[in-house]
Every structure is written in C-alpha cells, then in structure tokens.
Structure 1
Amino acid sequence: MLFDTDFKQRSDTNTWSHRDGSPFTQEEQDTVFAATRDELEEVSDQITRYRAYRQSKEEAPEALHRFLSPFLDQLVQKHLRKIIESMTEDELTELKRLLGAMDDPILPFTPNTF
C-alpha cells in the first residue's frame, strides 16, 4: 500500500490518498501509519530509483546528441556507418542503450521493480 500512497494529507478528508487521488479508508490509513521505518525507507529508495529511471529516459535524446557529437565532428563525410565503425565496444554498448531508451516507452511505477 505504501507504493500507492500520495503522502500529502487531503484537507477535505483529513487523510492521505492513493496516487489516483482517492482518499484512504480509515483501515488503509491505519495500515500506512503502522509501517516501520525500514519499510518507509525501502519505499523511498524504490521511488528514488524510479525517478532516476524516468529522468534517464526523458534525457535520452539529448544524451544521444551529446554522445554522438564528437564522432560527427571527426568525420568529413558524416555517414552513420562510418561513425559506428569507429566506435569502441563500450561506445557501441552506450549507443545501443541510448537508442533503446528513446524507443521504449516509460514504464509505470511498479512496486519492487526499481
């Protein structure tokens, strides 16, 4: 339940709410208040990792541009095949990661995934 919690207290119901905006029932509120410090820290860590994941996906087009710029500047004839041929294995791996980040849609937050 902690992963579905918007930790802002609603003034109209005097409770926390789910991420979709629906208020907690009293039973749900009691359950969340019973969470241990370790559970709250784990939720915080997973949400932090998810935010980092989203940010890397959103920044992928600019990161790809920055990554390819030095290769483009080196070439008189700017053909992608020539650029790829001049890359190291690590550079090819990074290129594939960035292209994949641009192609794949952003996944929704799912508990215990990030």
Structure 2
Amino acid sequence: MAVPSDGAGNAPPWRLVGWAVVRGARHTNTWSHTDGRPFTKKEQATALSATREEFETFGWLLERKAERDREIAEATQAVIALLNRYFVALPADSVAADAAAIMTEQDRTEYERLLDIVAPDGWLFAPSEN
C-alpha cells in the first residue's frame, strides 16, 4: 500500500499513528487525534519519526479494522433479525437461548456462525428494559 502524496512527492497533511488517523497542520506540524485531543510531546515525536513501512503497515491495519467493524455491524443486524423471527412466537420475557432452542437446524447453524462474529467469547449481552 502506498502512502499518498500531493502529486509533487510531498507527504500528506495527515499521518497514521497508533490506532488513530491524525492530522497535522502543513506548516506547524501540530498533531491531534481524530477526537481533537492534541498529541503529547511523546506522541508528536513518534509521529514525526515513523517510517514509510510503519505508515504502510498501519494503513493495512486500519483498513482491516474498518472491515472487521463492518463485519460485526452486519452480523449484529443479522442476529437481531434472526432472533426477532423467533421472538414473535415466544413469551415477552424470553431470551436468546429460548429462541435458539426452537430454531430450525439451518437457522441454528447461521445463528452460531453469526455469534462467532458478534460474540467470539461466547457471551451475547443484550440490555433489557428491566
């Protein structure tokens, strides 16, 4: 993955450091996190000393994280839709395990696949109104 430039070979005004995309003013090298917090002096030094390989590696990691976040969001919506199909046939105080118990084999297989994405540790937490 190449680090973008302005076409004249100059580095972009942003830098990839840690788990944040940070922006720096072109002339002041004032860096901040995406949430607006300014970098500490140590973070500034790290950003200014990063190599091209580090930028490329981080770019790949950032893309992978975005893909994983999308995958989790899509799986979460699919789990909700799948469970809702069964919750309509269950009492109001039912939980996910109740719905899983009455699923078809095909839906149960899909449910388990989705849970591996959404809750890899095996814990599915859904807040209730109680």
- TM-score, normalised with respect to structure 2: 0.47
Q: State how far apart, in whole Å, the 1-side matches of 2:108 and 2:65 are.
A: 28
Q: State how far apart, in whole Å, the 2-side matches of 1:88 and 1:59 are.
A: 17
2:38 to 22, 32, 39: 22
Question: Which is strand-richer, 1 or 2?
Answer: 2
Deviation at 1:44, TM superposition (A): 1.2
CA deviation map 1:20-63 (0-9, x unaligned):
612342x6434322222111111111122222222233333322
> After the TM superposition, which residues 35-114 of structure 1 pair with which residues of structure 2 at under 5 Å, given as runs?
35-65=50-80, 68=82, 80=99, 81-84=101-104, 86-87=105-106, 91=110, 93-97=112-116, 100=119, 103=124
Question: Which is helix-richer, 1 or 2?
Answer: 1
Q: 1:95 to 1:9 in 2, by over 3 A?
A: closer
The one-letter code sitting in structure 1 at the alignment partner of 2:103 is I
Checking the alignment, whether the CA contact within 8 Å between 2:17 and 2:47 is kept in structure 1 is: yes
Q: State how far apart, in whole Å, the 2-side matches of 1:47 and 1:34 are.
A: 19
Moved over 4 A (4+): none
Q: State how far apart, in whole Å, the 1-side matches of 2:102 and 2:43 are.
A: 59
- TM-score, normalised with respect to structure 1: 0.51
The one-letter code sitting in structure 2 at the alignment partner of 1:42 is T
Identity value in percent:
24
**Would you say how many aligned residue pairs link Structure 1 and Structure 2?**
96
Taking CA–CA contacts closer than 8 Å with sequence separation of 6 or more, which of the two structures ends up with the larger relative contact order?
A: 1
SS, match of residue 8 in structure 1: strand
